[in-house]
Structure 1
Amino acid sequence: MSTIGTDALRTAGWRPGRDAGDDALPGMLTAVSTVSPHGGQAWELFPAAERALREFHGLTIAPVTPGTDVAATGCAIDPRAARFAPRTAGSFARAIGQRLFPFGRTEADTLLFLDEKGRLFAVDHGGWWLLGESAEAGLTALLEGRAPRRIAPRSHHWQLARLPAEDELTDLVRTAMVPVYVLHRHGLVTARAARFRIIGLRGHGPVRLDEAFPLAPGSLDDSAVLLLKGVRQALDPIPLASAETSIELCNAAVGKSPRAGIGCSISTGRQGDQGIGIRLTADTKTVLESGAELADATAELEAYASRRVVRAAPVS
C-alpha cells in the first residue's frame, strides 16, 4: 500500500480495523432485499462483502493525485448505489464462478462490486475490470489512477508459413508440439492427447476422421514421431487434399475435452487461410485466475509465430 493511497483513505475517515457497525446494516439490507428482474432475491450477502462493507461503508473518497496510469477517480462506498445491476453482475459472476455483491459507485458512475474472495471489480461501458485483490487495494488503485486489468474472454490467432522441408502432416504435428510445450511450461494445459480431425471441402464438408491419439511421455520429438505414426495409420487411405486438418490439445484421458477454460487448436487447409494456424482461447475465469501465466504463454507463442508469420491475424 503506497503512502498516497493510505493518506487518501485516512483523509476520508478510514483506518485499519475500522468497523462502521450498525451504520453499514441499512445499505446491506437494502441490497439484499432488492428483487431481481426474474423475481426473487437479487443479491446474497457473503462474509467477504460484509467485512469490506463494515470497514469502508459510508466513506466518500477523493483522489489526491492526477493519476499514475489513468485519471485518478474518487468513489462513494454504499451498496445501494450499485444494487440495480443484478443482471449485468449475474452474468459476470457466472463467468468467473464467484458470487458478487454491490459495493459502491465512482464519481464517473462506474459501479463497484466485491466477489467472494474479497476482490474489487468495476464495470463500465468497456466491460469488467479487476481493480485489486482486496477492497483496500482496489480503492487505492482508483485513488492513484493505476490501470485496472480487463477481465474478458480472450482469443488469439496466428497464421504461420509452412516449413518447406516438411510435408503438410509432419509440419502440422511438429508445429503442435510448440503450444504443447509452452502451455505446459506455464501451467495452463498438460496435454495428454491430441484430437485429430479431418473435414472435407476445407472445413465445410463431411468429417473424414475424428480421433484422439495419446501423447507419449518423454521428449516432444518422441511424442511427435509416435503421433505421426498413429495418425498416418489412421489416415490410410483418407486423402488430405482439399480438406481442413486440425489438432486440438486435450488435457485428460484420450477422447476427453480440453481443459475447461483453455482451448488450443493447430490447423491447416482451412478455407481462406494459408499455411498453419494456431488458435488459443481462454474463458473469463481463466483470464482472471491465470492472468500472468496466460500473458506469458501468449507472448511466447507470439514470438514463435513472428518467426513463421504469413500475415498478421486479428487478435480479440
Structure 2
Amino acid sequence: MPDLNSTRFPVNVDAALREAGWQPGRWDMKLAEEWADTLRAHVTPAGHRHSVFPAAVEAWAEFGGLHVTAPGHGRQIAPAAVRFDPLAGIHLARTLGDLGRALDTELAPLGEESEHRAVLAMDVEGRVYSIDHTGDWYLGRDLDAALSTLITGTQPTRLVAGA
C-alpha cells in the first residue's frame, strides 16, 4: 500500500513546485508540442538544429511555463530559481549539440535558471545539465533529482573535458 503522506519530492522542493502552480498529474501536451514544433523548425545560420525527444517533451508537458522560486537558503550554494521554457535555449542549438556529442547523447533545452544565468538541458535518458558562463554542470540523473539540486542549493557536479 502506498504511503499517502509521502511526496515525490523533498518537502521544500514539493512546496516550491506547488507554489509555482505544479501539482501531481499536471500535463499540458499542447504547450509541449508547440515548443517541440518551434524547436524542430529552428535552424541556426550555420545549419544547427535542436534535438527533440520524448523525455524532454514529457518534462515540458509536466513543468512547462512554471517559474519556481526556491524558499530559504541553500545547503551549499544559493538555490536557483527555475523557469521552464525551452525557448530560452532556442539560440543554443550548436552549444547543446556540441555538449551532447561530448557526452555521447543528444540534448534538448528545458529552460533557464536564475534569470538567464544558465540554460537547463535534458538528455535522451532524462539526465539534466546546466550550461553557464563558467562551464557545464550535471544536475541529476532525472528531472526530480535536478530540481532537488537546484531548489535546495546543493552543489552540482562540474563536467570536466575528457573525464
| Counterpart selection for 1:122 from 87, 112, 130 | 130
1:63 and 2:74 matched: no
TM-score normalised over the length of structure 2: 0.88
Which SS does the other structure have where 2:121 is aligned? strand
1:97 and 2:101 matched: no
Q: 1 or 2 for the larger relative contact order (CA 8 Å, sep ≥6)?
A: 2
Write the letter of the residue equivalent to 1:152: V
| Counterpart selection for 1:21 from 20, 23, 29 | 29
**Relative to 1, partners in 2 of residues 1:33 and 1:62: Cα closer, same or farther, differing over 3 Å?**
same
1:150 and 2:158 matched: yes
Which SS does the other structure have where 1:48 is aligned? helix
Cα distance in structure 1, aligned partners of 2:150 and 2:32: 22
Which SS does the other structure have where 1:28 is aligned? helix
Displacement, 1:111? 0.5
Comparing both structures, which one devotes a greater share of its residues to strand?
1
Cα distance in structure 2, aligned partners of 1:48 and 1:102: 11
Q: Where do 1:205-244 residues align within 5 Å?
A: none
What's the counterpart of residue 39 of structure 2?
31
What's the counterpart of residue 139 of structure 1?
147
RMSD: 1.4
Write the letter of the residue equivalent to 1:140: S
Aligned sequence identity (%): 34
Compare CA radii of gyration and give the structure with the larger one: 1
1:84 and 2:91 matched: yes
- How many aligned positions are there? 154
Cα distance in structure 2, aligned partners of 1:33 and 1:152: 32
TM-score normalised over the length of structure 1: 0.47
Displacement, 1:117? 0.7
Cα distance in structure 1, aligned partners of 2:141 and 2:57: 16
Displacement, 1:23? 2.5
Displacement, 1:97? 0.6
Displacement, 1:131? 0.9
Q: Flag as ranges the 4+ runs of structure 1 deviating above 4 A.
A: none
